[in-house]
Each structure stands twice: as structure tokens, then as C-alpha cells.
Structure 1
């Protein structure tokens, strides 16, 4: 058997992109009221690396609207819900791209967003930064919290007091999802630092290897779908 042939997979063809022209006014309002920004930043991304390195310029608002639209499709029970993978440089505002949809989905539909991140320091930093901005419907669970603190966080999540919930992959995979969310409906799952999902990067995490299978099974167990939004700055093409 040719080992190279057996272990190498061709990337799937990209779907035709249909980004919205702009985002809804409520999202602009959240941007201003929560983050203090007057407008979204533009990002320069590769158009289609299968064909070359031509770039296009898109707004953060277009990406955020796209994430929200996919979450809304899932909440309505539509069968065709697209997942999103974004590679963008450090400092391009990737956290805003999932935090703002999470705030909107929680506010409008009481949907929970779960963020899976392998970096404890990054989790704490993002949660505390949002809390300092005055947004309190965000929390995390980690080994640094006492059993009493984790119990209180889980209660807040289950009872709808938290809309944006950060977890490590190890913690997520260690328990039944009801342990964290109860009967709360999940609207979006974010996989941050997605280069650790596979051998894309040096910081490969074993628990990320099982994450895709876990999330696929989770949708079947819960009986409904939700989009996955994966982000990284360091994935290597192909």
C-alpha cells in the first residue's frame, strides 16, 4: 500500500460564497453599545486558494451577519446549515466575530454559544475583557475554579443568565452536555485556535482530535443542529 496515498486527503471543493452585503442594524447597535466602536473593520482574505492568491476585502459585519444567519437557519430546523472556517491574522479582531453573534443570539433568541478554546489564559482574558466592558452574560469553567464556583456557573448557564460560555476541549469531552447546559438550547459552537484540531500546527491537542466526532454525535443526541465556527491565525494551507 502506498502510505502517502492512504494518509493524504484532498480538501473538499469550496462552496460558492454568498456573503451578505451588510449586517442588520441591531448588530451595529451592539457593536457601539458593548464595544464602543462606530463601525466594523475591513479584513483582507484570500478569495480561493484552490485557484491562486488573489485577495478580497470584506467587512467584519458581513462575516458576523453570515454567522447569525446560519444560526437562525439551524434554530428554525432547516436541514442545510453551513459551518464556517476562518483563517485571519492575529490582531484582526477574530474574537469579535464570534462574541458579537453570541451576544445577539442570546439577546434575541435566548440561544447559548459555547466557545471551545485550548488556552486557559486566553479564555480568562476574553471573559474578563467583556466583563470590563460591562457585558456580564459571559462565563467560563476551568480547573482553576472551585467545585462551588463551577456549580454556580453551570446554574447560570442552565437558567439563561449566561449566553457566552467558554470551555476547554478536555472539560467539554469529559461530561454529558446536559451537565453544563441542562435544557438550554445551543445556537452556535465556536472552535477557537482551530489549528490545534489537527496536525496543522505544533500545538496539537489530542482532545481536539475527537471534537468533530463528539459534535456530530451531540447534534444527533440533542435532536437539532447548530453551526460550527472555527477560527485560527496559523493553519497551514492544504
Structure 2
């Protein structure tokens, strides 16, 4: 486990968790002010545990045939959604005025919105320890630094595009290394194991960047 790997996992989790801080704030909004921090802390702690448990289970299946291929396709979709401009509805969250109710709402809502995070982290990391450390560090940052993180991503969109490129590279690497391809005699030369993921990352990021700019120009002309 290296510092660079931990930092990359933290960065991925933060990039994919833009809406989670809003959900947590909404879920705790009806809790009395003097109890609100307790609800947020408890919900955050439970959310960390749920994510780690889910990643522990998921990572056990990555060596099975075609699991990496399917995971890579899901990760490609996640990468696209990260940078594609789209209208999203507000999450349907019912706040509770009780601390325990808010804790459960926070944990369940965060987990439901973080399936993509778990898949991405499990795909990129080698082992559960880096994932656990990355999640434990990133979730508090997401919650308590949500406004700063949001403003940085809005001000410097390249951060989000770079993150999408990293996820796409990870998706391509998973797909070309899937053991199930050997059963169908689909062999990708080792020399292309680096080229294919990089090419996929460049193509996706450039294509979505062009698409987003065309959408902006179309809106400007209306």
C-alpha cells in the first residue's frame, strides 16, 4: 500500500461523491441543532462501515471469469456519467427529527448513492486495506469540505475530466486483463495492455468534452 495509491483512491471517492454531502445535510436537517453533529458523525461512521463491507465482498469476485469485464463496462458508464452534462432530480430523502433516525437515513442514503464509488474503488485498488483507508479519509472530507470541493470542481473542470480519465483507464485495464477472455481465445497482447486503456481514456474524455461544448453552444443559441 503506497501513499500515491491512497491519494488516488481518496481523489476518486471525492470526485464521485459530489451529491452525498447534500444528502447528509438534508437527512440531518430536522434534528435539533445541538444534536445535529452527533447525527452527522454517527451517520458518517455507519456509511464508512457499509462502504468497506461492500467493497470487501465485491473484491472477492474480481478474479472470476468475466467479472472484470462486466466491472469494466460499469466503470466506463460511471466515468461517462461523471463528466456528461445532464439534468438530475433532487434525491428523495425524508429527514428525521430523531438522532438515530437521521443516522440510519444518512447511512442508507449515502450507501445507495455510493454503489458506483464502491465499484470504482474495488476496481482500482489492490486489496481491501487501501480501500478502507481511502474511504475513512475521504468521507469526512466530503462531508465537512463539501462547499470547498464543489467550488473547486466548478472552477477547475479539468479536475473532474482527469478523474474520469483515470477511471476509464482503470476500466480498460480490467477489461483487457479479464481471465474469461482466454476461454474464447480472445488474447490481447501484453504490449497492448497499456495502450488500450490509455486510448479508451483519451477517446472518452475528448468525446464527452466535445459533446458538452456542443450542448453549451446549442443552449446559447436558443
TM-score range, shorter chain: under 0.3
Q: Which protein is richer in helix relative to its size?
A: 2
Q: Determine which structure has more spread, i.e. the larger CA radius of gyration.
A: 2
Task: Kindly indicate whether structure 1 or structure 2 has the higher relative contact order, using CA contacts under 8 Å at least 6 residues apart.
Answer: 2
Question: If the length of structure 1 is used for normalisation, what is the TM-score?
Answer: 0.21
